[in-house]
Amino acid sequence: MITTEFVSTLGMEAIKTVILLSAPVFIAGMAVGLLISIFQALTQIQEMTLTFVPKIVAVFVALLFFMPWMMRVMLDFTSGIFSNIPTYIR
């Protein structure tokens, strides 16, 4: 039988998984953004493309680097949900 405790636990696990998966890409984008901001403050160059292009490249590199780990985490979470469907129905 599905209880409110079960739903909140499942929701919490889903949110933890989303945060865990987004953290490497978010941290890479934030680190590059911070470095670009420091560079812009030192040189007083205020070009908008200077902020976006390196961040996009850093996010794509982080995605390529962390994709195998991210896929494993997503597959573990999804297979855990699917394997426990009989338990959820009771």
If one compares 85 and 58, the residue with the highest pLDDT of the two is 58
Q: Write down the pLDDT at residue 90.
A: 72
Q: Write down the pLDDT at residue 85.
A: 86
pLDDT digits (tens, 9 = 90+) for 18-28: 999 999 999 99
pLDDT digits (tens, 9 = 90+) for 58-69: 999 999 999 999
Residue ranges of the domains in the chain? 4-89
C-alpha–C-alpha distance, residues 42 and 5, integer Å:
52
C-alpha–C-alpha distance, residues 44 and 88, integer Å:
58
What's at 6, amino acid-wise?
F
